[in-house]
């Protein structure tokens, strides 16, 4: 069962909550995203401090101890980033439901009826995949109407939005010269 299904009790997301309840959920999810970003930055700072201590260590046992601490911190960070990916998907879905509810009056009646009959799990997959808030009005309406077509019956592939981060973390674990660095795009995304 996905986030929306648990949130809406298996009912249709469009009818399950009011705009105010959805906006509250959106605010809560945005707060969660901010909290996770802050925690990731804190872990990064702690990794850097531990790495600096490790460089100044005088014995092999100290180096090993610091290396274990860094490994544990990187594992915590990886879990936080995985959590961030899921919260981002949930936030995108809730934001898209808000847009759906706002645009409902602009849609033909038969499209609205079809939307309300779509399986919640399939709708959740569509809502997670689309970024309606980045589209203009016409594109939003087209995307919503497309949701009612046969394209929705095709399975949704999982996003692999963490592969760059995980590759960087793993490369950092193997490197002995410096702590792991993220690409400039990912650093900006985390800020």
pLDDT of residue 6: 57
CA 48 to centroid of chain Cα atoms: 25
The answer on pLDDT for 135 being more than 80 is no
Looking at residue 151, its pLDDT comes to 39
pLDDT tens-digit series, residues 11-48: 666 677 788 988 999 999 999 999 999 999 999 999 99
Q: Worst-scoring range by mean pLDDT, 42-51, 69-78, 138-147? A: 138-147
Nearest to 168 by CA among 145, 189, 187, 150: 187
**What does the alpha-carbon distance between residue 124 and residue 12 come to, in Å, rounded to a whole number?**
10
State the alpha helices, DSSP H only, in the chain: 3-8, 13-16, 19-56, 60-103, 109-117, 120-129, 137-147, 163-174, 184-190
């Amino acid at each position: 069962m996905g986030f929306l299904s648990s949130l809406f009790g298996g009912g249709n997301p469009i009818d399950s909550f009011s705009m105010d309840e959805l906006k509250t959920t959106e605010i809560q999810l945005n707060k969660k995203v901010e909290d996770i970003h802050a925690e990731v930055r804190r872990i990064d700072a702690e990794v850097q401090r531990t790495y600096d201590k490790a460089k100044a260590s005088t014995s092999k046992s100290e180096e090993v101890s610091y290396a274990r601490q860094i490994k544990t911190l990187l594992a915590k960070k990886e879990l936080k980033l995985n959590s961030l990916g899921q919260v981002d998907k949930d936030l995108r879905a809730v934001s898209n439901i808000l847009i759906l509810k706002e645009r409902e009056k602009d849609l033909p009646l038969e499209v609205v009826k079809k939307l309300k009959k779509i399986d919640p799990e399939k709708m959740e997959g569509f809502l997670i995949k689309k970024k309606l808030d980045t589209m203009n009005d016409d594109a939003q309406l087209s995307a919503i109407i497309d949701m009612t077509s046969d394209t929705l019956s095709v399975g949704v592939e999982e996003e692999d939005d963490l592969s760059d981060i995980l590759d960087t973390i793993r490369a950092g674990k193997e490197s002995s010269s410096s702590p792991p660095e993220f690409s400039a795009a990912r650093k900006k995304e985390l800020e």
